[in-house]
Amino acid sequence: MLIPAFSMLIKQGTACAVEGDIKVAMAMSILKTIAGTGQLSEMYSIDFNEDICIIGHSGSGDADISVDRKPTMKIVPVFHGKTGGGYLTQFYPPAGDVTYLAITQDKDGHFKFVVAEGVNEKGPIFTFGDTNMRTRFSIGAREFCNRWSEAGPTHHMAAAIGRHIDVIEKVGKILDIPVEVVCR
């Protein structure tokens, strides 16, 4: 029952990241503040034939990103590939611009923002209760994955509707945190 409760808190502006990832909770809070949405995400898959990345996450999420249709809740026997089941809340982000923000640390322990902008496209998505997006990047799926991975983020990131790299760069400047832009 924590998943629906966390989702309600996220909608109200309190980031709650499953798996105890505090860095993605910070990224969710930043995007929720500047963009109005802060969805927990990670790379699910890459469709090389379609040249898109499937990005999303199971569990708690931000209902404000569910523009296309009302969120759904499912009871599942397996939760995010782990033993044991539970409740999943699935949200439906709209087609259009999307921004991804990850917070990582360098070898000296200093924070760094890793950001990318892409376009969410309509098409088939997984239907096992997870929020997921079909995102096309200006540099292509393969190059995006290479550059994103080379930037060294954790496997979680936050997502927001719209293009927000310019504002994230200003936040980074105010907080004295470097911003690595993977693509716009």
Average pLDDT, the chain: 89
State residue 79's pLDDT score: 67
State residue 161's pLDDT score: 96
Residues in the chain with pLDDT values less than 50: none
Task: Give the phi and the psi of residue 154 in degrees, each rounded to 5.
Answer: -70, 175
Could you tell me which of 143, 168, 167 has the C-alpha nearest to residue 157?
Answer: 168
State residue 77's pLDDT score: 76
State residue 81's pLDDT score: 64
State residue 78's pLDDT score: 72
83 with 96: CB under 8 angstroms? no
State residue 93's pLDDT score: 92
State residue 82's pLDDT score: 67
pTM assigned to the model = 0.92
State residue 130's pLDDT score: 78
- 3-state helix/strand/coil string of the chain: CHHHHHHHHHHCCCCCCHHHCHHHHHHHHHHHHHHCCCEEEEEEEEECCCCEEEEEECCCCCHHHCCCCCCEEEEECCECCECCCEEEEECCCCCEEEEEEEEEECCCCCEEEEEEEEEEECCCCCCCCCEEEEEECCCCHHHHHHHHHHCCCCCEEEEEECCCHHHHHHHHHHHCCCEEEEEC
Would you tell me how many other CB atoms lie within 10 Å of the CB of residue 85? 12
